[in-house]
Structure formats: C-alpha cells, structure tokens
Amino acid sequence: MNTFILLNFVRGLSTSFLLYVLLFILAQPKYGRKVNTFIVILLVTIGGVIDFWFYQTADFTNLTKILIFLYLVQFAVLKPFFKDSWLQWIFCYITVINLHGCILIISFLWSHFLPYPYITTIFGRIFLLGITIWLVQYYLKPQCLQLVNYWARFSFVVTAICCNYVYYFLHTTNMVQDMAADCIPLLLLVILTIIVYCSIFWAMKAIIGFSFLQTEKFLIEQQAKAFELQLANYNSFVEQARQTRHDLHHHNAVLGQYLAEGYIEEAKQYLQDCEKIVSCSNIKRYCRNQAANAVFFLYASRIQELGVHYEVDTDIPETILLTASEMGALLANVLENALESCQRSFIRNCFIKVIAEVKDEKLFIQISNTATVPVIFENDMPQSSKEEGGIGTRSVRCIVEKYGGSLRFKIENNIFLTQIIIPL
C-alpha cells in the first residue's frame, strides 16, 4: 500500500466514522451503546472496504456514485434501529448527507491552496465534523427534539438541498476535473446549505420561544382560575361566618329556654356545639382588600402547620387598580416561593413577614423570609432550581409591569426580600 492510498483511506475512514457518530447523536437510537457501537463499526468497515477498492485506481467519480447508492440503501436499512418518526428520520439522515457534501466540497477547494493537501484535508475534515458534532450534541439537538410537529416543513427543505448534491455527483464524468471547473457554483451551494440550516435552527429557536410563552400563559391562566376558585370558597366561608353571627340571638334564645327549664347538661352541650361553630367561623382580618385578605388567610394555616412564624402587617385599600385575580396571583406566588424557601432551609425558627402600606399614592409591599440556600440571580431575577420553574416569579413581574410598577429581589444575611411598588 503506497502513501497515496493510505492517506486517502485514512481520510475516508475518519470521515465515515464521524458522519455515522453524528447520525447517532442527531437521531434517537432505539438500542443501547453496545448495539450502536457495533452498527457504527459495521458501517465504517463496509465503507472502508469500498473506499480501499476504488482508491487503488484513484476512481473518485465511481466511488462517489457508489457511496450515494450506499446511502440510499442504508436509509431504509437503518430506520428500524431508531425511534424517530419517518419525517424526523428524513431530516436527520439527509442532514448528514448534506453535511458530507459540504465537507467534501470545502476540503477539495482548500486542498488547492494549502500545503500538504492530503494531510490538511484529513485534519480539516476531522476539525469540521468535530465542531459540528459538538454543536449538535450540546446546542442544536435539544431544539430538534422539541419540534416534532414541524419536521415535515423542514424535511422538504433539506431534501431539496440534498437533491442538488446528488444530481451533481451522479452526473459528473470526472469528479476532480468537474469540481475544479465548477468551484464557484459548488461554493455557492455550500453557502446556500449553511444559510438554510442556520435559518432552520433560528426558526426552531423562535418556535420554541413562542411555544414556551404559550405554555407559560396557559399555566398562569390555570393558576388564576385556581385562585378564583379558592377566593370563591373563601367568600362562601365568610358568608357562613356572617350568617352564624347573625343567628347568635337565636342561639341565645334556645340557651335561655334550656336554662329556664333546668336542662343544665343540655345547655352545656348546646354551648359546646355553638363554640365549635363560632370557632370554625372565626376569620382574621388582615387588611381591607378582600383578595389580599383571602390569600393571607389561606396561607396562614399552611405556613403555621410547618412551624414557620407568620406575621402580616398590611394596610391594602379595598379598591385598587389590580383585579382580584391579579392581586391574588401576585401575593400567592410570592408567598409560595417564601414557603418553599423556608422548607428548604436547614435552620429552625424560620419566618415569613409581610408588610404593606400606601404612601404617596403608591402601594408598597415587602415580603421577607428565611433563605439559607444560595439563590442564583440572572438579570436581577432569582432562578428556580426546579425543572420548568420560575413561572410564578415571571407572573409577578408581568403583573407589576402591567401597572407601571417596580419589582426587586435581594438576599441579605439569609433573608430573602421581595419588594413591590405599584402606583394607585
């Protein structure tokens, strides 16, 4: 084996190996690592044997046509080894073919301008494919997996690009001479391919952002509906308490009748029953605003059950610009975050304190709570450690910004502060 054949063989073998690795990263293999490794080795071996056969005669033209035929066969044979739908599989597989075409053209063109063309071609291909694999693995694949419903549109585009490569290489009679003569059109085809894929992934990013906003909007709406239901239950509870107090004089009349007739034990039992009703109907009034009062009341039992000290000192007007659902969502989200922070804290005597007052026609709200776990901030917003977390905080920000207010988060001496200012 002379040096010419050896260098060409190494170039073909390394290119095939990295392309198949890229395919198994971009697509979704159905089986484990051992099976995937065996398949890659088998495919590289088959490709290596074909490469070696044609490299002996330097017949690059027929080698390329045979590889195109091999790609078509592998397209159908490999599909059962992947979980992707057919449209996903078309996109992934044809993307690998298009990349192979780009790498082949780029390496051919730069080999005419660099010294030691065979060696620079080998390392150049390894570098380009390595960068591509790294980008796909850590940046592009997560986007691809989230857009199953859009594969049809993107698959048609990449198939059209692939047809250009296949048509050119099938109709060439001398690949080396034809590529040298058509270097400008081929370079434009490579640029077009790069632009198309950049546009696809840019569109994917935009679609993901839109889908995220739609999901977030839905979750916020569901949260608002849940709060409205809690508020309705709270109002029913308040009405029951009012009715109990209204009926108190009737209870007194019954009690008086028991005592007048000497039924002491019955009177005691009646008093105990009334006490249970009255104690259950006892509602603490935290402020004049009904929605805010409902939130403070609903969270009081949850917070105190965990042994967290709960203090509310608020003066929120009965009528403000915020709707009841907005006021409830704002306070509930902040209190929920404060409660979770106390649950994660590793010290006793945790606390949650709420202060609210009106000053200079602005509503000032500050909620402070124990926070011993480090908090990461990004763009002045605390980042949630939960998967798909942070929706509550973003909901608070949207409500505050809607009314031209300001929102501030900070942590000092294991105390997390949420400060809200809303114009009235």
Do 163 and 303 reside in the same domain of the chain?
no
DSSP H/E element including 358: strand 351-359
Give a yes or no: residue 233 inside a domain. no
| 228 lies in some domain | no
Distance (Å, rounded) from C-alpha 354 to C-alpha 356?
7
The CATH number of the domain holding residue 408 is 3.30.565.10
Do 206 and 313 have their domain in common?
A: no
Residues 52 and 189 grouped into a single domain: yes
Point out the domain boundary residue: 216, 240, 265: 216
State the total domains in the chain: 2
Residues 206 and 329 in one domain: no
- Asked if the structure places residue 321 within a domain, the reply is yes
Same domain, 180 and 291: no
Strands 309-314 and 406-412: unpaired
The answer to whether residue 258 is domain-embedded is no
Residues 88 and 183 in one domain: yes
Tell me, yes or no, whether 144 lies in a domain.
Answer: yes
Q: State the residue range of the domain holding 61.
A: 3-216
Same domain, 120 and 7: yes
Buried b (16+ CB within 10 A) or exposed e, 379-414: eeebebeeeeebbbbebbbbbbeeeebebebeeeee
Token match 């239901």: residue? 229
pLDDT in tens, the chain (424 residues): 567 677 777 878 888 888 888 888 888 888 888 899 999 999 989 888 888 887 777 788 888 889 889 999 999 999 999 988 888 888 888 989 999 889 888 888 877 777 777 787 888 888 888 888 888 887 776 666 555 556 666 778 888 899 999 999 888 888 888 888 888 999 999 999 999 888 887 877 777 666 666 655 655 665 565 566 566 655 555 565 555 555 555 556 555 665 666 666 766 676 666 655 555 444 577 888 888 888 888 788 788 888 899 999 998 888 888 887 788 888 888 988 898 888 888 788 899 999 999 988 899 999 999 998 888 888 778 877 665 556 778 888 888 888 888 999 998 888 999 999 998 8
Same domain, 75 and 193: yes
Q: Considering the domain boundaries, does residue 376 fall inside one?
A: yes
- Examine residue 372 and state whether it is found in any structural domain, yes or no: yes
Asked if residue 195 is part of any domain, the answer here is yes
Regarding whether 206 and 117 lie in a shared domain, the answer is yes
Q: Which of 162, 196, 216 corresponds to the end of one domain?
A: 216
Which of residues 165, 198, 216 is at a domain's end?
A: 216
CA distance 341 to 346: 10
